[in-house]
Amino acid sequence: MDDVCIIESEKIRNKVDGNFVDLVLHTILKLKKQVLVFNNSKRSSQTSAHAIANAIKLEDIENKDKLEELSMKIYNALPHPTSQCRKLRECIKKGVAFHHSGLVTKQRTLIEKSFREGLIKAISSTPTLAAGLNLPAYKVIIKDYKRYSQRGMIDIPILEYHQMAGRAGRPGSEDIGKTVLCVKDEKNVQDIATKYVFGESEEIISKLAVEPTLKMYILSLISMDMINTKEEIKDFFKSTLYAHQYQDIESLNFNVFRIIDILKDYKFVSQDDDYYMGTELGKKISKLYLNPDTANYFLVNLPKFVKRFNNDSISKYDVYSVINFFCNTLEMRPLFRAYVNERAVYEKTLEDIGDDLIVKFDPFESDIDAFLNSLKTSDVFESWISEAPEDYISDKYNVTPGELNYKVGVMDWLLYCLEEIAFLKKELYFKNFLKKLRVRFQFGIKSELLPLVALKGIGRTRARKLFKSGYKKLLDIKKADEKMLARVVGEKIAISLKEQMSDGQEVVEKPLTPKKPSNIKAQYEEDVSEDEIDVLITNYNEFEEEKKEVNMNLTDYF
DNA sequence: GGACGGTGAAACTTCAGGTTGCCTC
DNA sequence: GAAGTTTCACCGTCC
C-alpha cells in the first residue's frame, strides 16, 4: 500500500515539477475541477492564493464579469476597505480566494457560496475550512503538516489531517477525490505517508482534565439540580469519558470536591449536610455560561467599579480601565499581541496610567508580556469605540477586521454578563453605564452617537455623517427637512428616518440593543423586589427626556 | 572625498481558531 | 521550522 503513495508522489512530481501552484493550475485549468489548499498561517494562505492568482493568465479565466462583480462585493464588505480587502479583490478577479479568521463574515460567506457554485476555482485557507464547514473539492492540497506552537514546530494531529483530507471528493457529484500532502524533504516522504495516510487517528481526549472546563460543568450540573448529593456527584463523574480514560477515580473525586469547595468559597454553591445546591448567584453564573473564576473576578472587583462610577464625572481613563479589566479575563484570550516594536509604547502606557487601572500590574506576580498584550488589546478596543475605521485599526495594530469583530463579540458577551451581575448586586447606576458601553461596542461609536444608532438603517458611518451635519439628536431628525436629510444619508434612508420619526410610529428595536424597562421588569419579576425595579425605572427615566420631547415610543438606547 | 543607491547576507520577527449570553415581532 | 521583513555592511557610481 505504501507504494501507492510513492508512485502517486512520483507522478505528481513529474507532472508539476514539485510546485504546488502547477498542481493547482493543472487541476483547475486542465481537469476543470476545484481545489482547496491548506496552509498553517494566515499570511501563507494569502501568499499561496497570490501565487496561484498570479500564475493564471487572463485568457484562462472563466466568468470574468461575474468574478469582477464578486470581487467588488467582497472589497466593499467594509465601509473602509483594508489592504487585506484589496489583496482579496485581486485574487477573486482570477477565481482564487484566501480564507481565514481575519476576513469578516460577509466576505467568508460570499467566498464559500461562490466556491459551491463553481465560480471560485481555488481557495487557499488556514484550517478554518477544515472544521465544520461543508465545502468539498475535487482536490485538497495540504501544504504544511507542521504548525507553530509554543513548544516550537509540531506535526499536526492525524485527526486534523483527516479533517482536511476529508474535504476531497464531492459526495453525490464525483466518484473520487484526491489529497496531496506536501513533504519538503524527500527522505521524510515514507515516514509522513505512514503516519498520516495509513496511520490511526489519535484518541479523543476528555476536556474535563482542563480545570476551567471542569469548574464550569460542576457548577452547571449542581445548579441545574442534576447532581446534588456526594454519591450522585461521584456516580456521575465515574461514568465520564475522563474517568474511563484515566482510571484514577480517587484523584478525579479529589479534584471534583476541591473545585466544589472553591465554588462554595465563591458563594456559587451552598451545602446542607450531604446536599449541594446552586445559589441564586451560582445559577445565574451558570446560565450566563461564564467561567466561575471570571465571575468571581467580576464580583470581587465590583466595589471598585461602584466607587469609581457612581458619580457623574466619568473620564476617558475610567472607560479605558474598564476595557482593560475585561482584557484580563480568561475569555478574552488569546489577546492581540504587542509586537516587539510596539512594546515601548505599552511600557510607557503602563508607566503613565498603570496606577489608574482597575487591575494593577504586579511586577512579582503578573506576566509582563500578557499585561502588555492586555494594554494593546485595550487600545484596539478603545480605538474601535472612538470610531477608528477598520483600515486604520488594521494598519496601526495589525488586527484584521475579522479578528476585531470576533473580539468585539466576546466583549459584548462579557459586558452583558457583568451587567447582569451588577443588576443582581443592585448596582443599577453601574449597570446603566455598562449598557451604554455595550451599545458603543456593538456599533463602534462614541457616546454622542448613541441616540442616532437607535434608528433603523443607521450604523456608525451614517450616524457620524448625520452628527457632523448637525443632526445630533432624534429631535433634530424629527424637525429636519427630508430633502436636506437625503443629502446626508441618501433618499431611501431619509424616507425611512422620517417614517420612523412620524408620530405614533414605533421605532423597531435593533437586535442586541438593551431592553426596555418593561421587559426588564418581566424578566426579573421573580428575582427582585418592586422597589428595586422602581429604582431601575427611575434611572432609566433620567435618560428619557428626549423621548418625551419627541413624543415617541422609542427604544431605550442607554 | 562624500553622498547615494543597489545588493545580498545576516539577524530578527512572527506564526490557527472561534465555545458561550441575551432578544423578537 | 520557515517565510517574510528589517538591518547593515559592502561596493560601485556619480557629482
How does DSSP assign A190-259, residue by residue? HHHIIIIISSPPPPPPPGGGSHHHHHHHHHHHHHTTS--BHHHHHHHHHTSHHHHHH--HHHHHHHHHHH
CA of A211 to C1' of B19 (A): 16
The answer to whether A368 and A69 are in contact (CB under 8 A) is no
A26 HSE (CA, 13 A, CB side): 15
Distance CA(A382)–CA(A397), nearest Å, equals: 12
Residue nearest to nucleotide B21 (CA to C1'): A288
Q: State whether the beta carbon of A345 lies below 7 angstroms from any atom of strand B.
A: no
Q: Are strands A275-278 and A152-155 parallel, antiparallel or unpaired?
A: unpaired
| Any strand B atom closer than 7 Å to A403 CB | yes
Answer for A90: CB within 7 Å of strand B: no
* Rounded-to-integer distance, Cα A386 and Cα A396, Å: 14
Q: How many CA atoms lie within 13 A of A56 on its CB side?
A: 29
Segment A226-241 mean pLDDT: 91
Of A88-97, A169-178, A350-359, least confident by mean pLDDT is: A169-178
For residue A438, which nucleotide's C1' is closest to its Cα?
A: B22
Q: How far is CA A367 from the centre of its chain?
A: 24
Is the bond leading into A389 cis (omega within 30 degrees of zero)?
A: no
Residues with CB under 7 A from strand C: A 43-44, 47, 146, 148, 152-153, 184-185
Q: Which positions on strand B lie below 7 Å from a protein C-beta? A: 12-25
Q: Which nucleotide is nearest to A146 (CA to C1')?
A: C1
A343 beta carbon to strand B: under 7 Å: no
Task: Report the nucleotide nearest the CA of residue A153, measured to C1'.
Answer: C1
Q: What's residue A529's pLDDT? A: 41
A226-236 average pLDDT score: 92
Of these ranges, A166-180, A405-419, A486-500, the one predicted with the greatest mean pLDDT is A405-419
The integer distance in angstroms from the CA atom of A22 to the C1' atom of B8 is 29
Residue A379 has pLDDT above 60, yes or no: yes
State how far the Cα of A329 lies from the Cα of A333, in Å rounded to an integer. Answer: 7
A341 CA → C10 C1’, Å? 27
Nucleotide closest to A342 measured between CA and C1':
B13
- The predicted model gives A481-499 an average pLDDT of 90
Nucleotide nearest to A516 (CA to C1'): B23
Provide the 8-state DSSP code for A456.
Answer: T
Question: Tell me: the pLDDT tens digits for A498-520?
Answer: 888 876 555 544 443 333 333 33
A47 touches strand B (CB under 7 A): no
For residue A511, with 0-12 CB atoms within 10 Å meaning exposed, 13-18 middle and 19 or more buried, which class applies? exposed
According to the 3-state scheme, what is the secondary structure of A253-303? Answer: HHHHHHHHHHHHHCCCEEEECCEEEECHHHHHHHHCCCCHHHHHHHHHHHH
The helix/strand/coil state of A166 is: coil
**What's the whole-number mean pLDDT along residues A25-51?**
94
Q: In the structure, how far is the CA atom of residue A87 from the C1' atom of nucleotide C4, in angstroms?
A: 17
